[in-house]
Chain A
Amino acid sequence: MADSSMAASTAGANPRRPLAGAGTSHWGEKLIKVFLALCAAFSVLVTTGIVLSLVFPTISFFGQIPLAEFLLGTTWAPAFAQASFGVLPIVVGTLIVVVTALAVSVPIGLASAIYLSEYASSRVRKVVKPALEVLEGIPTVAIGLFAFFFMRPLAEQLFPFFPWDTPFSIGIAGVAVGLLIVPLVASVSEDAMRSVPAGLREGAYALGASKMRVSMRVIFPAAISGIIAAVVLGTSRAIGETMVVLIAAGAGNPNLTFNWFGSAQTMTAYIGGTATGDISQGTVVYDTIFAVGALLFSMTLVMNIIATRLVRRFREVYE
């Protein structure tokens, strides 16, 4: 009796503790456990597969192209007769998209998060939160079409004095990507704000603080690591976004450009656009897909590690 109540109380305190020792005598039980463990281990296999599939062609690529030329070169023309392998133009393309997307999604996403967490009545929240979640599921192809056929012409009509010299615009693609990551930024930072203990809020309100003051001076600083995590996750999503950029930003030009209004290529769009063509295995162009993929993978990996750390920190503080 004492034993079982103790087991119940420890399990209640830490529900993730495995139920050790139960029913281990039956061999069928063991077989099931092995199968389940294999399912879980499969994910490690996937990561290994990704790393392996990137590493070997990348090594073969750098056997032919020096690393310095790849990282520092300013002309990206792998398929040209006069081939050139400087990755900077497409890295800059990605940067333009990321900065633009963040400039759009951070203010909008944070405003939505503060409103939902501090101002909205539970009835409003019950409608808006699921709506944002459903909208998060809009396929990126649809957003790409919207950006190319609607936003870009509209922008030219509203601001005809900018240099819109092609039907494509990397900046407009960035705005569309920003729209795409708003729900992500909003929901992650709203979670962080909601997990700020009620006592902090109540203390501030009891001292006569206004809602704005509580939101900006209490909730915002208390939730800051979660908010940064939301921004980092959004960044990593924007780096990896392919279809919107592929549709709305065009094929780009081989030279380094910072033109927000013109066509430019990103790393993802290069991979997506090149792999669709007829590229035979074993050529340098084929290997560039993997070299760029490796760069992309390591960039997002770093972002995600930062985000995971930050999320864990705010969880540890308040849970």
Chain B
Amino acid sequence: MVIQKGEQPQRSRLAVAGARSATESVFGAGSRADRIGNVLFRALLLLGMGFALLGMMAIIVWSFVDGMPRLDMNLITEGPSSITPETAGYRTAILGSLYVIGGVILFIVPVGVGAAIYLEEYADHTRWWNRLIEVNIQNLAAVPSIVFGILGLAFIVRGPLDLGFVAAAGSLTLSLLVLPTVILASREAIRAVPSSTRLGSLGLGATHWQTIWHHVLPGALPGIITGVILSVSRAIGEAAPLLLVGAVTFVMFDPSFFEGQFSVLPVQIYNYAGRPQEEFRVLASAGVILMLAVLLVMNSFAIWLRNHYENKNAR
């Protein structure tokens, strides 16, 4: 039963136990078939949960076993090659990913946190435009990633921005993709800051913005950082929208942000995986190890950070 410590739940737990034993003494405890059914049900639930965890673990373990032979320095220092898979690597793709992710961070932190502050601290929720923004962000969060690729192709690569198939276009596309996630996570974090903090600061004569900057944001920081890290790690692993904004080619030269071809780690992995030779499959799996190592460390840290501070606030 989900009952936490404390005076009230303790008492209700006693009441439940008492009432239960009274009922059982009058009507008798559950039959044997009932008990067997319960054990089976529990076993079924455990099986389901075990399957979920094992399935995910299997992906990680398989990638490690399959990619192990190619886990060497060439993987990082060498560029791609279609002829020599034994020594080919991810150099240009890793650099491309770094550029793209750097751009994503620079974009989503101010815009995402800014939007969250506005919606939590300034917006009057009875106004239709503020409600429109809220509904819009929620729907945007669930738009398939490939649709953002279409947006990137039509608006950023071509169309109004006309950046061409460069890293900046990929970066902006991914920023738009993860922006709703950052806003939603930051809003949660800001909302969790107790309103007594705000009232205390305002009561001492601080302005609205001073209150937000000096008291609300520091309190919300762990939650915001968690949201940003999770979003960035999603952007690192995302490949589909980048297929449309030009990250598919073999890039021989180190990329730059605003000109020249670029690729990113997951797209390069996809590219290698599509080749018939055995060596390319191993190379692709080795790339997955690289990516998984980075992402699992980032996600674990982010989730640890959030849970750590949640417990602290609850205490």
A-to-B contact residues, CB < 8 Å: 4, 7-8, 11-12, 15-16, 18-20, 22-24, 26, 28-29, 32-33, 35-44, 46-47, 49-50, 52-54, 57, 107-112, 114-119, 126, 128, 130-135, 137-146, 148-150, 179, 182-183, 186, 194, 198, 201-202, 205-208, 210-212, 215-216, 233, 236-237, 239-243, 246-247, 268, 271-272, 275-276, 281, 289-290, 293, 296-297, 300-301, 303-305, 307-308
- In the bound complex, do residue A293 and residue B146 qualify as a contact, i.e. CB atoms below 8 Å apart? yes
Q: Which of A37, A142, A281, A297 is B291 in contact with, Cβ under 8 Å?
A: A142
B:273-298 near A, CB below 8 Å:
273-274, 281, 284-285, 288, 291-292, 295-296, 298
CB pairs A–B below 8 angstroms (19 shown): A23-B211, A40-B114, A40-B119, A57-B154, A132-B53, A132-B56, A137-B296, A141-B239, A146-B58, A146-B63, A148-B273, A198-B9, A208-B20, A210-B30, A211-B42, A212-B37, A212-B38, A240-B146, A308-B138
Report how far A25 CA is from B139 CA in the complex, Å. 36
By the criterion of a CB under 8 Å from any partner CB, how many residues of chain B are at the interface?
124
B:245-304 near A, CB below 8 Å:
248, 266, 269-270, 273-274, 281, 284-285, 288, 291-292, 295-296, 298-300, 303-304
Known: A15-B195, A134-B303, A138-B59. A26 touches B20 (CB 8 A): no
Complex interface bits, B187-219 against A, C-beta within 8 A gives 1, otherwise 0: 000010001101100110011111100000000
Known: A18-B124, A19-B198, A36-B118. A114 touches B45 (CB 8 A): yes
Which 5 residue pairs spanning A and B have beta carbons closest together?
A240-B144, A111-B48, A139-B237, A23-B207, A39-B114
Shortest B171–chain A CB gap in Å is: 15
Known: A4-B199, A18-B121, A271-B244. A42 touches B111 (CB 8 A): yes
Which A residues lie within 8 Å of B183 (CB)?
40, 43
Stretch at the interface among B11-19, B68-76, B81-89, B98-106: B11-19
- In the bound complex, do residue B115 and residue A183 qualify as a contact, i.e. CB atoms below 8 Å apart? no
- In the bound complex, do residue A26 and residue B207 qualify as a contact, i.e. CB atoms below 8 Å apart? yes
- In the bound complex, do residue B48 and residue A50 qualify as a contact, i.e. CB atoms below 8 Å apart? no
Report how far A269 CA is from B288 CA in the complex, Å. 21
- In the bound complex, do residue B270 and residue A141 qualify as a contact, i.e. CB atoms below 8 Å apart? yes
- In the bound complex, do residue A141 and residue B269 qualify as a contact, i.e. CB atoms below 8 Å apart? yes
Which A residues lie within 8 Å of B159 (CB)?
53
B3 within 8 A of A: yes
Report how far A243 CA is from B199 CA in the complex, Å. 49
Known: A137-B230, A146-B59, A183-B52. A18 touches B34 (CB 8 A): no
Known: A18-B122, A293-B146. A111 touches B117 (CB 8 A): no
B149 within 8 A of A: yes
Known: A109-B52, A139-B266. A15 touches B207 (CB 8 A): no
- In the bound complex, do residue A22 and residue B207 qualify as a contact, i.e. CB atoms below 8 Å apart? yes
Which residue of chain A is the closest to B110 with respect to CB atoms?
A39
- In the bound complex, do residue B150 and residue A293 qualify as a contact, i.e. CB atoms below 8 Å apart? yes
Report how far A297 CA is from B24 CA in the complex, Å. 55
Report how far A109 CA is from B56 CA in the complex, Å. 13
B27 within 8 A of A: yes
- In the bound complex, do residue A39 and residue B118 qualify as a contact, i.e. CB atoms below 8 Å apart? yes
- In the bound complex, do residue B46 and residue A115 qualify as a contact, i.e. CB atoms below 8 Å apart? yes
Which B residues lie within 8 Å of A146 (CB)?
58-59, 62-63
Which B residues lie within 8 Å of A137 (CB)?
230, 233-234, 237, 295-296, 298-299
Which A residues lie within 8 Å of B111 (CB)?
39, 42
- In the bound complex, do residue A139 and residue B291 qualify as a contact, i.e. CB atoms below 8 Å apart? yes
Which B residues lie within 8 Å of A303 (CB)?
142
- In the bound complex, do residue A16 and residue B191 qualify as a contact, i.e. CB atoms below 8 Å apart? yes
Report how far A268 CA is from B19 CA in the complex, Å. 56
Known: A128-B49, A142-B237. 14 other contacts (CB 8 A): A19-B208, A23-B210, A43-B136, A119-B45, A132-B56, A137-B296, A139-B238, A144-B273, A182-B55, A236-B144, A247-B274, A275-B244, A293-B147, A296-B147
Q: Which among A39, A108, A139, A241 has the greatest number of chain B C-beta atoms within 10 A?
A: A139
B314 within 8 A of A: no
- In the bound complex, do residue A111 and residue B45 qualify as a contact, i.e. CB atoms below 8 Å apart? yes
Which B residues lie within 8 Å of A19 (CB)?
121, 198, 202, 208, 211
Which A residues lie within 8 Å of B60 (CB)?
138
Which B residues lie within 8 Å of A276 (CB)?
243-244, 248
- In the bound complex, do residue B137 and residue A198 qualify as a contact, i.e. CB atoms below 8 Å apart? no
Which residue of chain B is the closest to A290 with respect to CB atoms?
B150
Report how far A7 CA is from B291 CA in the complex, Å. 50
Known: A36-B115, A112-B49. A149 touches B66 (CB 8 A): yes
Shortest B41–chain A CB gap in Å is: 4
- In the bound complex, do residue B240 and residue A272 qualify as a contact, i.e. CB atoms below 8 Å apart? yes
Known: A39-B118, A205-B16. A44 touches B132 (CB 8 A): yes
Which B residues lie within 8 Å of A304 (CB)?
138-139, 142
Report how far A45 CA is from B145 CA in the complex, Å. 17
Report how far A107 CA is from B32 CA in the complex, Å. 26
Known: A111-B49, A182-B52. A208 touches B120 (CB 8 A): no
Known: A36-B114, A247-B273, A296-B147. A206 touches B23 (CB 8 A): yes
